[in-house]
Amino acid sequence: MTLVEVLAAVTCRGVRLVIAGGEMRARAPKGAVDEALRQGLAEHKQTIIETFGERPRPSSAPAPQLIRKRLTMKGAQQARGERRKPL
């Protein structure tokens, strides 16, 4: 089976792949994983782990604060680079 066929079979048969600690386990309804799917999973195991495995978590640095600034009409025009028109 190709990788695409393996992933399609996993999806259609209700199989959940759990990847943790660099290992992959399949949780599936009874009889959902036949020998062909088992071989396909074994053949493409490393690619599946690398593609769908654990991602590094973002650093614990705080998120940037949103700064809200009240703009007057004059301030908005200045922000856009517009100039006041003389009367």
pLDDT in tens, 12-70: 999 999 988 889 999 999 999 999 999 999 999 999 998 888 766 666 655 555 555 55
CATH topology of domain 3-52: Arc Repressor Mutant, subunit A (1.10.10)
Quick one: tokens of 71? 């703009």
| pTM score | 0.61
Q: Please report the pLDDT score of residue 20 as a whole number.
A: 86
β strands within 1-87, DSSP E? 16-20, 23-27
Q: Using CA atoms, how far apart are residues 83 and 79, in angstroms rounded to an integer? A: 10
Q: Please report the pLDDT score of residue 56 as a whole number.
A: 64
Whether 27 contacts 20, CB under 8 Å: no
How do the residues of the chain divide into helix, strand and coil, expressed in percent and rounded to 5? 40, 10, 50
Q: Please report the pLDDT score of residue 9 as a whole number.
A: 94
Phi-psi region of 43 (alpha: psi -120 to 50; beta: other; left: phi over 0): alpha
Q: Please report the pLDDT score of residue 24 as a whole number.
A: 92
